[in-house]
Structure 1
Amino acid sequence: MSAILRNWFGFFLLGAINNLPYVIVNSAANTIADSFGEKNNVGLVFGANVALAAVVKSLNTFFLLKVSFTIRYVVNGCLMLLGLFGVAYAFSFWFALLCIVVSGSSAAFGENVTLGFLSRFPSKLVNAWSSGTGMAGLLGATIYIIFGCTVSDKDENKTDHLKHLTKYAFLLTTPVVLLYWVAYFLVIRVPVSQAPQSVNEESDESRPILKSDSGGYEVDEIDNSSVQSIEHRESELKRIWRCLKLVSWLALNLCAVYVFEYVARGCAAKARPSTEYNIGCPELYAALQLCYQAGVFVSRSSVQMFIIKRVDILSLLQLINMVVWIVDVHYKFLPVAVLPAFMVYVGLLGGASYVNIFYLLLHGNKFPSEDRELCINIVGLSITLGIIIGTGLETLLFNTLLAND
């Protein structure tokens, strides 16, 4: 197996496994809440899944970049296991929420760590990671639909049945953490750097990975003396501010896309009453979420075929999507048969924005090699900000303009 193919497979595994617990929680949020008799508090499950995302991403961005990737991957795998076992054996709804906070934090932390790790590899490997995260979405949504088909509302022991489904679903997911570590320790091979070690690096592992001509990569030249000069005269706060200005346009667009798509996805919950679609179809919301994840998977796997530099166009198109979904919730003017394809389109735009923005961060010459990991982590924070704003806007709309729809 060639080094490139091996690394592609390794990053695909990291993406699929890192996001799988997060997606399963979101996809089975209704099942988890209902199993504890808390059907009206489904929103708390979603909230718990992102409750500390900004905190752990900020921790990684501003305090842990000099900690070895090995330590961060080991710790993150342990957090993943803790969250999965906790949800499986939760004895109350509030304890389950606490464990979901841990599980969601693991996904957020692992995302920023891996995107930073990718700065040491050929930039197109971001396609492997993003494709893996898209696969996680497909798997999680499929699991939710399977769960929905195995429990009947007329089941006298419905609550107990749901608890058993939740327990075994999360327990059966725990072995993938071993694959997570296998992908990092055994599958992925870091390209050998030919550049001198910079003043802040203590081992080969933390050395920036440059693309060598012998390996078919381009060489990013670093003036080591200028790097040291910048480090001596620039405080860490000034460095962060400089990088923030460098990535502000990309961060703004990624944040906006997440705001618009989370509102659009939320509108699917009020798209149509059950009397208006085929009763043999899975619950419409779950089916539409599967369509969304299918679109995400395809577009997050697309950067090796074509690259989109005008990411602002994707943001604009997603804004139009959001407006159409909001209007449709109120007027119900779109045919039901069109909704699945329209939701695939939402996923296509969201996934394309994600993978192309991080490709530009990894590939663009305007981002200094010594600052690339910090720049990537700052943009990664915009994802969490977009999710928080999007879910907040959705909640506001559902309690005001769309309250009776």
Structure 2
Amino acid sequence: MQLEPAHLVYAAFWTFGLVNNVLYVVILTAAVDLVGPQTPKAVVLLADVLPSFLIKLAAPFFIHKIPYNRRITLLVGLSTVGMMSVSLASPLFLKLVGVVLASFSSGLGEVTFLQLTHFYDTRALNGWSSGTGGAGLVGSGLFMLLTTVLGVSVKTSLLVFAFFPLAFLGVYFYLLPPRDYNRVPGAFPVHSNDPETGIETQPITWEFVASGYETTMVRLKPLVMPYMLPLFLVYFSEYTINQGVAPTLLFPMEELPFSKFRDVYVTYGTLYQLGVFISRSSAPFVRIRRIMIPSVLQFANLVFCIAQSMSPILPNVWLVFILIFYEGLLGGAAYVNTFLLITEQADLAEREFALGSVGMSDSAGIVLAGLVSLWLEPGLCNYQVNDGRGWCTLE
């Protein structure tokens, strides 16, 4: 049975989203195993997101000059080598180098695949959004299954994920239909001197980058308030919760359904990703056009979680599980609806640029969350220790 091209587009972009984000999720889920309970998990967060943010920040100025097939090959190399370093290296420094390489791959991948959706109908963006949500569920869920349920070592579990990026090659070169199978009106035609990109190529020089700076800033300005600010706020809030507050949302061991405190953190990550997956997959059925609403609700969620850490309001971990799941629903809804609004509202001539540029705002929010969490998690943990609740210092 042969799938229709439209179905292949959805399947291809779903896989792109899954593979591109799964390593990012696994690294954050394994943060407590990589650095231990005494080191702020934000160290891993910053290594996992700062390189990605830098790529997204610089990409609008030059990325359209790099052919898509070369980008795909680079993604595979960076992510595979990075995960092998994370899983096999012993010194923390080398592990973090691996995290940085995987982060560069993740950032380049998000820009690349979001821009690529411009050449297809909305199935591409729906598939990408659902796949990125699925990455959270597959990454955190499979890591929890391997380490918590099956007892597989963290090293071996991380090594399994090093082979996931190979899927990029098969899907891009053999599964994804050509970009002219159902040309979207107004999309860039594939007829230039570079048939792979559909955009004329020229050497990337400093003069080229500098000359395009002012033009690029002018093109970015109208994207800030309607799209970038809400996305920044929601990501800052949820990643501050995940890396700065969640490690301190603990209860006495006898009240937990686990034998180790680290399992609570891993479960929080899995439930968060489950919420993200559900909401990112919900766009064909539920739309949110005022995306500032989930952003403000997420910030309120952050304030509540900090209060819960300092003086417990929810009496047991099961209610905190629901709270974290709700956090994931808000974050996923904000993400998918932001990019769908761009496809609906942006001029066709600007849509590819907008899709590749707005993503820098979520990474900026995550970077700021990581910096805040470097101070917030130790502060909350010390407060709990002084209050007679020292569980955050234990494994």
User: Which TM bucket (shorter chain)?
Assistant: 0.7 to 0.9
Structure-1 residue corresponding to 2:334:
353
Give the letter aligned to residue 32 of structure 1: L
By relative contact order (CA 8 Å, sep 6+), the higher-ranking structure is 2
The CA distance in 2 between the partners of 1:184 and 1:286, in whole Å, is: 32
Flag as ranges the 4+ runs of structure 1 deviating above 6 A.
194-200
Is 1:317 the equivalent of 2:297?
yes
Quick one: which of 151, 165, 177 aligns to 2:165?
177
Residue by residue, what CA displacement relative to the aligned partner does 1:51-73 show, whole Å, maximum 9, x if unpaired? 31222223332112122111111
Residue from 357, 362, 365 that aligns with 2:343: 362
Select between 342-351 and 42-51 the one with higher mean Cα deviation: 42-51
Contact 1:124 1:359 in 2 (8 A): no
Query: One-letter code of the match for 1:243?
Result: R
Q: Does 1:376 align with 2:355?
A: yes
Structure 2 contact 40–378 (Cα < 8 Å) conserved = no
Deviation per residue, 1:2-34 (Å, 9 max, x gap): 111111000111111111121111111222335
Q: Of the candidates 164, 175, 198, which is equivalent to residue 187 of structure 1?
A: 175
Separation in 2, partners of 1:353, 1:98 = 31
1:385 aligns with 2:384: no
- Compared CA separation, residues 395 and 301, structure 1 to 2 (3 A): same
Matches within 5 A, 1:2-401: 2-34=4-36, 40=39, 42-146=41-145, 147-149=147-149, 162=153, 165-166=154-155, 168-189=156-177, 190-192=179-181, 193=183, 201-207=192-198, 236-249=212-225, 250-265=227-242, 266-275=244-253, 277-280=255-258, 283-336=263-316, 337-364=318-345, 367-400=346-379
Residues 272 and 332 in structure 1, CA contact (< 8 A), matched pair in contact too: no
Distance in 2, Cα, partners of 1:329 & 1:177: 37
- Report the CA distance shift for 1:199/1:21 in structure 2 as closer, same or farther (over 3 A): closer
Partner residue, 1:219: none
2:75–2:108 contact (8 Å) kept in structure 1: yes
TM-score w.r.t. the length of structure 2 is 0.84
3-state SS in 2 of match to 1:272 = coil
SS in 2 for 1:133: helix
* Residues 177 and 379 of structure 1: CA distance in aligned 2, closer, same or farther (over 3 Å): same
Aligned residue in 2 for 1:227? none
Shift of 1:42: 4.4
- Tell me, what secondary structure is at the counterpart of 2:358? helix
> Quick one: distance in 2 between partners of 1:176 and 1:280?
29
Return the offset for 1:369: 2.2
Post-superposition offset of 1:84: 1.9
Structure 1's 373 and 403: CA in aligned 2 closer, same or farther, altered over 3 A? farther
In structure 2, the CA distance between the partners of 1:83 and 1:196, relative to structure 1 (3 Å rule), is: closer
Unaligned runs of 5+ in 1: 152-160, 209-234
Per-residue CA shift, 1:307-327, capped at 9, x if unaligned?
211001111111111111111
Alpha carbons 1:134, 1:297 under 8 Å: kept: yes
* % identical aligned pairs: 27
- Number of aligned residues: 362
How high is the TM-score relative to the length of structure 1?
A: 0.82
Cα shift at 1:291? 0.9
1:125 Cα deviation (Å)? Answer: 2.3
2:188 and 2:314 map into 1 onto residues whose CA distance is: 59
Q: Please say if residues 295 and 345 of structure 1, whose CA atoms lie closer than 8 Å, have aligned partners that are also in contact.
A: yes
CA separation in 1, counterparts of 2:187 and 2:14?
Answer: 30
Q: Alpha carbons of 1:329 and 1:237: their partners in 2 closer, same or farther (altered >3 Å)?
A: same
Residues 90-122 of structure 1 deviation map (CA, whole Å, 9 limit, x = unaligned): 142211111111012111111111111111111
Q: Is this contact kept in 1: 2:186–2:348, CA < 8 A?
A: no
Given that 2:143 and 2:157 are in contact with CA atoms closer than 8 Å, whether structure 1 keeps it comes out as no
Cα drift, residue 79 of structure 1 = 0.8
Q: 1:201 to 1:312 in 2, by over 3 A?
A: farther
Q: Secondary structure at the match of 1:303?
A: coil
Q: 1:53·1:384 contact (CA, 8 Å) conserved in 2?
A: yes
Shift of the 3–381 alpha-carbon distance from structure 1 to 2, 3 Å rule, reads: same
Q: Which one-letter code corresponds to 2:129 in the other structure?
A: S
* Contact kept in structure 2, 1:90 and 1:96, CA below 8 Å: yes
**In structure 2, C-alpha distance between the alignment counterparts of 1:353 and 1:324, rounded to whole Å:** 19
Letter in 1 for 2:238: E
Q: Which moved more, 1:309-318 or 1:134-143?
A: 134-143
Q: Aligned-residue CA RMSD in angstroms?
A: 2.5
For each residue in 1:163-194, what CA deviation from the matched residue of structure 2 results, as whole angstroms up to 9, or x when unmatched? xx41x223322332221111111111124447
Residues 128-185 of structure 1 show CA distances to partners (whole Å, capped at 9, x for unaligned) of 111111111112212332314566xxxxxxxxx95xx41x223322332221111111
